[in-house]
Structure 1
Amino acid sequence: MKINYETVPVEKLRWTCDVETIKEYLAKKGKSIPAILGQDRAVRAIEVGLDMEFPGYNLYVAGASGTGRTTTVRHLLNRRKNKKQPPPDICYVNNFKNPDMPIVLTLPHGEGKKLKTEMADLVHHLRVAIPKVFDSDEYREKREAVAEKFDDNQRNIIADLEKKAKKQNFALVQVQVGPFTKPDVLPIINNQPVQPAQLQELVNAGTISQEQAEAILQNYEELAKELAKTFKATQKLQKQKKLELESLDRQIVKPMVEEAINDVREKFTGEKITGFLQAAQESLLSRLALFRGKSEYEENQIEKKPALKSQHIDPFLEYHVNVIVDNSETKGAPVVFENAPSFAKLFGTFERVTDSHGQWRTDFTKIRAGSLLMANGGFLVVYALDVLLEPGVWNNLKRVLKNRKTEIQGYDPYFMFAFSAIKPEPIDISVTVIMIGDSFLYRILYDADQDFQKIFKIKADFDAVMKNDKDNLAKYAEFVKRISESDKLLRFDESGIAAIAEYGVRLAGRTTKLSTQFNDIADLAREASFYAQQEKADVITAEYVDKAIAESMQRFNLIEDKIQEMIKDGTIMIDTEGHKVGQVNGLSVLSLGDYTFGRPSRITAQVAIGQAGIINIERESALSGPTHDKGVLILSGFLQGKFAQNKPLAISASIAFEQSYSGIDGDSASSTEIYALLSRLADIPIRQDIAVTGSVNQNGDIQPIGGVNEKIEGFYKVCKAKGLTGKQGVLIPRLNVADLMLSKEVVKAVAQGKFHIYPTESIDQGIEILTGLPAGEKDEKGNYPQDSVYGRVDKKLESFAERLRYYMTRSI
């Protein structure tokens, strides 16, 4: 019986872009295409997320890199941001009651800078005006009058003490005690003041008698008590003098300060601003000494460290306004793209400085806003992987979005020194966060983090493909033109654009689709222009696009070339001619991250009498993934359906990927494994010039697989290296014919009859092509023809069952 081999027609091996369609489009001067291509679903989702202003409606933009996620988000944000009013300014000011807890002020946009200027002008005005008041004759006279009143009282008190001491032959003197002096009353003997401790010496010398010494000592003790009372009285007078002078200062300056504060108060509204201005007024009136020149603190510090003369210490720092978010120039809602979301850059921080003692310190003027606050009232765009990798960022971001408040912290895990910390007042925040990442990361977060589900309620899924039709081809052409103009590339002719579109189909993996990974398309356009410029070409034709593709592959396919070399020299054993029993060339795809290619693998099967079933050697050696294990288990179901309806399967079989030393997964080799097993059971050799790919179900139907183009090209390269015979080819699932986008070299080889692609729908078809024998169909009695593949397999399995029964009976 002759087996008819159906092959895939040459015209179905590769989709070819109609150059006339591109030429027709280029000849038109129609309206330009939209900035976003092939992402209608994602665009609708993003628009909903941008317009929803309820808590939790943040966006996760999912999709493969290069599909235009960031470009689309940026475009839609630019279109929407002007529909909103600019958000308020955010300022921090001093908390006069608790300086470690600065107060936040929220003002209409542009008002923050104005408040800062007004406060700076107020301080400047007072620093000029108040010293003038203090230098006036009127003020000096009043101050001198107050001082004179207290000084007179003090002189009178001291004079009374001096009189009392003089009557008893004592004098009021200053005594040196270490580096200091203090007042004391000492007896006068021979016109000289004498310390009480020296009285005994005078007695011994006969200058005074013992009775006189004791009387002097008693008078000294009484006068010392009087001196202490006098000292307390003068201290009290000094305090009263200080208070009265301060009261005088406040009385004279208060109207001026109140007027200045009221001028500022009239320009701003809000309870918190009013409270701040009132506290500032009270503070100014309590620190009027600041307006008499350098503060005592400044003088002391400069004396200790002269270098500080160049480091101006502003005694009026606490009256400054720190505008951390200034929206005076903002039009519409702010849009912030944060590409490096560290904790400090995202949430803000406060800077540290060293004081005169070398200690680290900070204050409210050192508070800095992060991008989250900069985006308040608008939109913040971050990248999911960056957010998750930065220490502390993800948990704090969730906390902020849940509570709608943010608190600026001095987070620095690498800072080794303690410093004075502050705790700024938390800030109410309203921001829509747009997080861009891949779909895999979205699934992990959604399943593992319950908070994620509550705060990222909108998912915008970017598709990696779009429909391959005339409209989208026109968009491809326009995209290529746009890239050429923006990047100043050479002009593409219709053949060059058609080649770009064909590359887009190859990336999409199906002839009915075009890839939306426009980063890759743009890169190809740039590289094609580079090679065209090298050859002094005026336009970019398909020739240069093909060259760019070939050169790109050459840069990445070192591992593929090494494998091909090992196959050619026999290190990796692959036969491309002849027939072998229980041996089939399977096809797999290797992905190296930046490059994917196909390679053949020898798959072998061995059988024996037994009850172990089918043993997957890869699984037993822990080199098999779950999908591959499932494919092997399906083989048992296929055999049971075909051959175990009237007898048990008395078989122990093993299947292996020969010379495979790394992990294997996927079920695309399950049909190959069945062919090897059937060949071994039937003892029928299989063609080695045909490689096989395709998964199978328990009914024997061939199912589509991925990477069909890479697999075919991988086996073609091996056959080409070993020598094309005109009989070699690849068995593929019929359902994968629509995915074929083979290289021009393979298509040419098929057209010349040097290589063949066989579409199959079932194991029956495949085994006939591989063996040249009919698969076989059951007759009305349920038996297969003896000369068919299945007939021979059934006969072998029947003999296995009988022998097993015989040995089991004999052992009993």
Structure 2
Amino acid sequence: MSTSSFPPALAPEQLRRCCDPARLGFASTAELEPLPEGLGQERAEEALHFGLGMAHPGYHVFVLGEPGTSRHTTVFRLLQDMAARGRTPPDLCYLHNFEDPRTPRLLRLPAGRGARLRADLQQLVRELTPAIDAALDADSHVDRVEALQDNHKKREEEAIAALGKAAEAEGLGLLNTAEGFVFAPMREGQPMSPEDFEALSEAEHQAVEASVETWTLKLADLLADFPGWRQELQEAIARAERQALRPVLAHLTRGLRRHYADLAEVLAFIDAIRDDVIDCVAQGKLGEEEGAEEAEPEGPKVGFQRYQVNLLVDHSETRGAPVVCEDNPGFGNLIGSIEHLPLPGGQSTHFSMIRPGALHRASGGYLVLDAGRLLTQPFAWDGLKRALRSGRIAIEPPAEAQGWSSQATLRPEPAPCQVKVVLVGERELYYLLMENDPDFSELFKVAADFEDELLRTPENEASFARLLASLVRGAGLLPFDGAATALLIEEAARHAEHAERLSLHTRYLGDLMREAEYQARRADPDVSQVGSAAIRAALAARARRADRYPRHVLESTLEGSTLISTDGERAGQANALVVVELAGERYGHPVRVTATARVGDGDVVDIERETELGGAIHSKGVLIITAFLAARYARHQPLSLAASLVFEQSYGQVEGDSASLAELCALLSALAQAPIRQSLALTGSVNQFGEVQVIGGVNEKIEGFYDLCKARGLTGDQGVLIPAASVPHLMLRPDVVEAAAAGRFHVWPVATVDEAMELLTGLPAGEPDARGHLPRGSLNERVAQALAEMTAALHPLHPEERPAWRKSVRHNRFSGS
């Protein structure tokens, strides 16, 4: 039976819906205005406007959709528009806390004044040392200190002299020896010699010794007062230094006070600097810094580090609200961190080593994060949720946040978390978070779901052309002519796997356009615009770069290693079509499906499942085939066959039900012993009623079988059976369409398994009459007869014991749909 007796195949215009360049109405994309808004994303943009405009807590936004659909571009466009109308947030600074250095204080300043304050304090620090030295080296101060020291010295000398003079009345003299002050008996104004002292009587000895002991105690009491007197001297000198420094520091900070008169916190910090400088000078500690090292090799002295400001976030160049995108949302990059300097035996840090996170930089504005990257970073997701729930950004290491670290570190004052967070991720991730994280729905109440496709209408084709023009200008490419633009629209429909829809995966289209421009310039360096030939060349080059797998499959089939027939007939054997996806590219090729049938207990064995090579969906398809057989042919009798189905020469996982039509046809062919034409291949899934259902990858499947037939030689008898519901999805390659137009290749739509079997075998399927009887010689009658014979062979009963189903067998009653 030749294809001329087959039902009509699909017309060429049904195999690929072409776009007429003349209908687009332009000669080049240079004539088109760029598309100002996102195409087909009105619903998602409405959700974004709502979420970003809500001032209440928890209305953060999760943008979900497929990668490459311009989600980030649209989000940033909306954020930039909203940010331009927003208020610029204050600068964020950290200051040394003079009362508790471990808890640096947060300072919020009007935008731009943080950098000015930092520069002013650096200037102050540079002027401190010479000003202090000048004040303390001034003649008036030096004379005053010397006078205080002289008076102190004179006071000590006069006290000792008075004590010595009082002791002379009792015949003792106060001598200043190398070992200190001692009392000695005197005679005629001179210390008594040892000989004279020995000449004294015992009573005189005792009297002298008692007197020396008494005056020695008085001397000890006097000397005990000296440290107090020296402390009084130091206090007097410190008061003198304070009196000398106060006017100097007042002069140094006068300009600061005038410039920051409206900022009470800055004035308080200036006062704290003044008091600390005075105290440190008075205590001799100026130049010391608790547990810190010099922050910059050429910076100010370490002792003055605490007088500066750590400018965490500088908004001096920001106009409106900030928009921050953090590409690496680790815990530290998100929440902020505290750096440490290694020291012998430990680590050191101080307030100037606090580093901001993305939440600080985006505070008062918008923060965009990739959800997938965020969730792969340890502690980052918990840190973000904690900040959003509390409304504060607490900079603390993860160990500190979890409460299982005892390492001493800083505890900076938390900054307010006033930010709108936009998470961008795939749909599966959104649904997983919604189902498994109770906090997620409380914090991200708004979902902006981006469309992947656009309905293909003349109006939308015109808008899509403007979108392509925007991509051309955005990438700095040569203009594309009308024919090239029309071909890009067709490629968008092919990428969408639907002739009536356009894919919004602009990343794919942008890559194709860049590659087309490369091909155009390669063909003609002086080219002024890109034509359709360059796009076809780019598509061909892309196919060649990725054709290793399909080429090896084709070569294996042509050389006979992989057994696929494209001519002849055989019962129980059909050419199914499969799709393989590798590295983002999809390839279709045929695979042989075989079926065998024999007497059994009604089991249809899926060899793929039995060997653990079949996936759950494929196994489901085989079970549906079993249900179809039982419902159609064994409604009034036991299903007494044992059948087996297998993908021949498959050595990997088999998944999906798009080959269930081929499996069912092979099994029916084996039961009816009706040979299947091997020049035909088929794809589609079936339900329990034998209806053929839509499948994916229909274009690649058809093209895979076409490539094999073309390599072996097109005869005009070859073709593919596809589900009728998949006809709107057809966007076949131009060469396949040309072959179909010339009658060398065919594509037939089928709605039921009966239609498929009629095309495959050339036999009429056979419709039951009013009593349910099938026409003799029809395919269904042959299947029913084969199953009845199996039942009879399995249940050999006496005529009087035959149940009602035996009568059904005798009359070939058909019980299916």
Residue type of the alignment partner of 1:280? I
- Partner residue of 1:733 out of 705, 712, 723: 723
Preserved CA contact (<8 Å) 1:61 1:436: yes
- Residue 361 of structure 2 is matched in structure 1 by 374
Preserved CA contact (<8 Å) 2:484 2:531: yes
Are 1:679 and 2:669 matched, yes or no? Answer: yes
Alpha-carbon shift at residue 761 of structure 1 (Å): 0.5
Query: CA–CA distance in 2 between the matches of 1:564 and 1:756?
Result: 20
Preserved CA contact (<8 Å) 1:556 1:594: no
Residue type of the alignment partner of 1:234? F
**Structure 2: runs of 5 or more not aligned:** 187-193, 802-817
**Structure 1: runs of 5 or more not aligned:** 176-182, 190-201
- Partner residue of 1:564 out of 554, 557, 571: 554
- Residue 580 of structure 1 is matched in structure 2 by 570
Residue type of the alignment partner of 1:37? L
Preserved CA contact (<8 Å) 1:165 1:171: no
Query: CA–CA distance in 2 between the matches of 1:423 and 1:771?
Result: 81
- Partner residue of 1:529 out of 517, 529, 542: 517
- Residue 189 of structure 2 is matched in structure 1 by none
Alpha-carbon shift at residue 329 of structure 1 (Å): 2.1
Alpha-carbon shift at residue 85 of structure 1 (Å): 1.0
Q: Would the alpha carbon gap of residues 478 and 428 (structure 1) be closer, same or farther in structure 2, given more than 3 Å must change?
A: same
Query: CA–CA distance in 1 between the matches of 2:213 and 2:593?
Result: 118
Residue type of the alignment partner of 1:328? S
**SS of structure 1 residue aligned to 2:749:** strand
- Residue 90 of structure 2 is matched in structure 1 by 88
Residue-by-residue CA offset, 1:79-122 (whole Å, 9 max, x unaligned): 11121110111111111111011000112222323433444455
Residue type of the alignment partner of 1:139? H
Q: Would the alpha carbon gap of residues 734 and 155 (structure 1) be closer, same or farther in structure 2, given more than 3 Å must change?
A: same
- Residue 8 of structure 1 is matched in structure 2 by 10
- Residue 235 of structure 1 is matched in structure 2 by 227
Query: CA–CA distance in 2 between the matches of 1:20 and 1:533?
Result: 25
Relative to the length of structure 2, the TM-score reads 0.87
**SS of structure 2 residue aligned to 1:540:** coil
Q: Would the alpha carbon gap of residues 241 and 583 (structure 1) be closer, same or farther in structure 2, given more than 3 Å must change?
A: same
Q: Which moved further from structure 2: 477-486 or 487-496?
A: 477-486
Q: Would the alpha carbon gap of residues 214 and 671 (structure 1) be closer, same or farther in structure 2, given more than 3 Å must change?
A: farther
- Residue 273 of structure 2 is matched in structure 1 by 280
Query: CA–CA distance in 1 between the matches of 2:279 and 2:29?
Result: 82
Alpha-carbon shift at residue 36 of structure 1 (Å): 2.1
- Residue 67 of structure 1 is matched in structure 2 by 69
Preserved CA contact (<8 Å) 1:171 1:188: no
- Residue 690 of structure 1 is matched in structure 2 by 680
Are 1:589 and 2:579 matched, yes or no? Answer: yes
- Partner residue of 1:743 out of 733, 741, 756: 733
Alpha-carbon shift at residue 268 of structure 1 (Å): 4.4
Residue-by-residue CA offset, 1:600-620 (whole Å, 9 max, x unaligned): 111111222222522222122
Residue-by-residue CA offset, 1:643-662 (whole Å, 9 max, x unaligned): 12221212222211121121
Q: Would the alpha carbon gap of residues 662 and 9 (structure 1) be closer, same or farther in structure 2, given more than 3 Å must change?
A: same
Query: CA–CA distance in 2 between the matches of 1:107 and 1:119?
Result: 15
Superposition map of 1:117-516 within 5 A: 117-120=119-122, 122-123=124-125, 127=129, 129-159=131-161, 171-174=175-178, 183=180, 185=182, 228-254=220-246, 257=249, 264=256, 267-269=260-262, 272-273=265-266, 275-289=268-282, 295=286, 313-353=301-341, 360-410=347-397, 421-516=409-504
- Partner residue of 1:669 out of 640, 647, 659: 659
- Residue 190 of structure 2 is matched in structure 1 by none
**SS of structure 1 residue aligned to 2:369:** strand
Query: CA–CA distance in 2 between the matches of 1:426 and 1:444?
Result: 31
Residue-by-residue CA offset, 1:39-95 (whole Å, 9 max, x unaligned): 222221212222122211111111222111111112111211121110111111111
Residue-by-residue CA offset, 1:658-681 (whole Å, 9 max, x unaligned): 211211221111111111111111
Alpha-carbon shift at residue 278 of structure 1 (Å): 4.4
**SS of structure 2 residue aligned to 1:492:** coil
Residue-by-residue CA offset, 1:546-583 (whole Å, 9 max, x unaligned): 11001111111211111111111122211111111111
Preserved CA contact (<8 Å) 1:379 1:431: yes
Query: CA–CA distance in 2 between the matches of 1:756 and 1:283?
Result: 92
Q: Which moved further from structure 2: 343-352 or 674-683?
A: 343-352
Q: Would the alpha carbon gap of residues 682 and 285 (structure 1) be closer, same or farther in structure 2, given more than 3 Å must change?
A: same
Query: CA–CA distance in 2 between the matches of 1:796 and 1:586?
Result: 24
**SS of structure 1 residue aligned to 2:303:** coil
Query: CA–CA distance in 2 between the matches of 1:570 and 1:268?
Result: 91
Relative to the length of structure 1, the TM-score reads 0.87
Residue-by-residue CA offset, 1:580-602 (whole Å, 9 max, x unaligned): 11111111111113211111111
Query: CA–CA distance in 2 between the matches of 1:569 and 1:64?
Result: 40
Preserved CA contact (<8 Å) 1:361 1:420: no
Query: CA–CA distance in 2 between the matches of 1:549 and 1:663?
Result: 30
Preserved CA contact (<8 Å) 1:587 1:601: yes
Residue type of the alignment partner of 1:512? E
Q: Which moved further from structure 2: 788-797 or 239-248?
A: 239-248
Aligned residues: 777
Alpha-carbon shift at residue 230 of structure 1 (Å): 4.2
Query: CA–CA distance in 2 between the matches of 1:540 and 1:558?
Result: 29
Alpha-carbon shift at residue 784 of structure 1 (Å): 1.8
- Residue 762 of structure 1 is matched in structure 2 by 752
- Partner residue of 2:23 out of 4, 16, 21: 21
Q: Would the alpha carbon gap of residues 793 and 161 (structure 1) be closer, same or farther in structure 2, given more than 3 Å must change?
A: farther
Alpha-carbon shift at residue 517 of structure 1 (Å): 1.0
- Residue 804 of structure 2 is matched in structure 1 by none
Preserved CA contact (<8 Å) 2:600 2:641: yes
Q: Would the alpha carbon gap of residues 761 and 253 (structure 1) be closer, same or farther in structure 2, given more than 3 Å must change?
A: same
Q: Would the alpha carbon gap of residues 313 and 32 (structure 1) be closer, same or farther in structure 2, given more than 3 Å must change?
A: closer
Preserved CA contact (<8 Å) 1:587 1:599: yes
Q: Would the alpha carbon gap of residues 12 and 248 (structure 1) be closer, same or farther in structure 2, given more than 3 Å must change?
A: same
Alpha-carbon shift at residue 275 of structure 1 (Å): 4.7
Query: CA–CA distance in 1 between the matches of 2:459 and 2:626?
Result: 48
Query: CA–CA distance in 2 between the matches of 1:130 and 1:694?
Result: 91
Alpha-carbon shift at residue 21 of structure 1 (Å): 1.6
CA RMSD of aligned residues (A): 3.6
Preserved CA contact (<8 Å) 1:101 1:422: yes
Preserved CA contact (<8 Å) 2:30 2:479: no
Q: Would the alpha carbon gap of residues 231 and 559 (structure 1) be closer, same or farther in structure 2, given more than 3 Å must change?
A: farther
Residue type of the alignment partner of 2:708? V
Alpha-carbon shift at residue 160 of structure 1 (Å): 5.5
Alpha-carbon shift at residue 431 of structure 1 (Å): 0.6
Alpha-carbon shift at residue 470 of structure 1 (Å): 2.4
Are 1:609 and 2:596 matched, yes or no? Answer: no
Alpha-carbon shift at residue 232 of structure 1 (Å): 2.8
Q: Would the alpha carbon gap of residues 596 and 29 (structure 1) be closer, same or farther in structure 2, given more than 3 Å must change?
A: closer
Q: Would the alpha carbon gap of residues 174 and 761 (structure 1) be closer, same or farther in structure 2, given more than 3 Å must change?
A: farther
- Residue 810 of structure 2 is matched in structure 1 by none
Preserved CA contact (<8 Å) 1:614 1:636: yes
Q: Would the alpha carbon gap of residues 136 and 580 (structure 1) be closer, same or farther in structure 2, given more than 3 Å must change?
A: same
Query: CA–CA distance in 1 between the matches of 2:677 and 2:496?
Result: 32
Q: Which moved further from structure 2: 143-152 or 591-600?
A: 143-152
- Residue 179 of structure 1 is matched in structure 2 by none
Alpha-carbon shift at residue 127 of structure 1 (Å): 4.9
**SS of structure 2 residue aligned to 1:146:** helix
Q: Which moved further from structure 2: 280-289 or 593-602?
A: 280-289
Q: Would the alpha carbon gap of residues 630 and 808 (structure 1) be closer, same or farther in structure 2, given more than 3 Å must change?
A: farther
Alpha-carbon shift at residue 738 of structure 1 (Å): 0.8
Alpha-carbon shift at residue 129 of structure 1 (Å): 4.8
Query: CA–CA distance in 2 between the matches of 1:768 and 1:3?
Result: 11
**SS of structure 2 residue aligned to 1:778:** coil
Residue type of the alignment partner of 2:331? F
Q: Which moved further from structure 2: 394-403 or 139-148?
A: 139-148
Alpha-carbon shift at residue 360 of structure 1 (Å): 3.6
Residue-by-residue CA offset, 1:305-337 (whole Å, 9 max, x unaligned): 9xx997853322222122211212211101112
